[in-house]
Amino acid sequence: MNQDSLINYVLHLADNALILGQRNSEWCGHGPILEQDIAITNISLDLVGQARNFYQYAAQLINESKKPEGSKAAPSPSGERVGGEVTEDSLAYLRTEREFKNCLLVEQPNGDWAQTILRQFLFSNCQYLLYQQLQTSEDKQLAAIAEKSLKEVTYHLRWSSEWVIRLGDGTEESHQRMLRAIDELWKYTGELFVAADYEKESAIDISKLKDPWLDKVKEIFNEATLAFPGKTFMQEGGKQGRHTEYMGYILTELQYLQRAYPGSEW
Digit-coded pLDDT (tens) for 34-55: 778 888 999 999 999 999 999 9
**pLDDT higher than 80, residue 74:** no
Q: What is the dihedral of CA 77, 103, 89, 197, to 10 degrees?
A: -30
Contacts (Cβ under 8 Å, ≥6 apart) of 244: 104, 107, 108, 235, 238
Distance CA 195, CA 48 (A): 24
Digit-coded pLDDT (tens) for 16-32: 999 999 999 998 888 78
pLDDT at 72: 43
Using an 8 Å Cβ cutoff, are 165 and 224 in contact? yes
Work out the angle at residue 37's Cα, subtended by the Cα atoms of residues 252 and 157, and round it to the nearest 5 degrees: 90
Q: Domain coordinates of the chain in residue numbers?
A: 3-236+243-260
Phi, psi dihedrals of residue 147, rounded to the nearest 5°: -60, -45
**pLDDT higher than 60, residue 79:** no
Digit-coded pLDDT (tens) for 181-195: 999 999 999 999 999
**pLDDT higher than 60, residue 76:** no
pLDDT at 85: 87
> Looking at residues 92-117, what average pLDDT do you find?
97
Q: pLDDT confidence of 235, banded at 50, 70, 90?
A: very high
Q: What is the dihedral of CA 122, 127, 130, 131, to 10 degrees?
A: -150
Closest CA to 83 of 73, 92, 93, 97: 73
Distance CA 13, CA 54 (A): 7
Contacts (Cβ under 8 Å, ≥6 apart) of 258: 89, 93, 94, 264
- Cα 205 from chain centroid (whole Å): 18
**pLDDT higher than 70, residue 156:** yes
Hey, what CATH topology would domain 3-236+243-260 get?
A: Ferritin (1.20.1260)
State pTM to two decimals. Answer: 0.92
pLDDT at 73: 43
Q: Which amino acid is at 95?
A: R
